[in-house]
Amino acid sequence: MLKAPPPLLLASSSRYRAELLARLRLAFDTAAPGVDETPQPGENAGALVVRLARAKAAALRHTHPKAWIIGSDQVALIGDEIIGKPGDRERAIRQLCAASGREVRFLTAVSLSTPTAETHAIETTTVHFRDLSRDQIERYLDAEPAYDCAGSFKCEGYGITLFEAVDSRDPTALIGLPLIALCRLLREAGYPLP
């Protein structure tokens, strides 16, 4: 008789991450980790994103002691400036104006916390934006108000029209959960995947 795989828990309230994880056809639950995402003084983007992915998984360990918990976080960078979710139209316009004709880097970390160990990985995606006029940006946001997305766009939707190119080892990383890296972490920890 085959042993049932350990329960999986996605430490996130993001519907985008849940939709991505569902692609793997694994049973999982979700829970909001309630982690403060404020950067620490002097913390660089790579350290921030890894710390937050690990903290999200760790935050649910005491309430789900037997689960394999998946935490993930993402930061976007224009130059050295971290940009987050805009939250409203004016901030989204400012972010997209700043990204116009430039490269924007997205660092996406994933953490896997089992009852006995923690592992993590980080993926970098570079988005090359076209030169965009304010009118083009406003038309895009009229069609797809991506105010809850870092960088103010949805690459899996109409936002793809804003790009010249995307450089990534894992296309799911840009959406917010790097599935290739997660599958590697699960396999290395002994989770039964194809």
Q: Which residues are catalytic?
A: 73
CB 44, CB 76: distance < 8 Å: no
Q: Going by C-beta distance under 8 Å and a sequence separation of 6 or more, which residues neighbour residue 147?
A: 85, 86, 87, 88, 89, 91, 92
Structure-block tokens of residue 51:
């710390």
Helix count (H) and strand count (E) of the chain? Answer: 5, 7
Q: Name the DSSP class of 67.
A: S
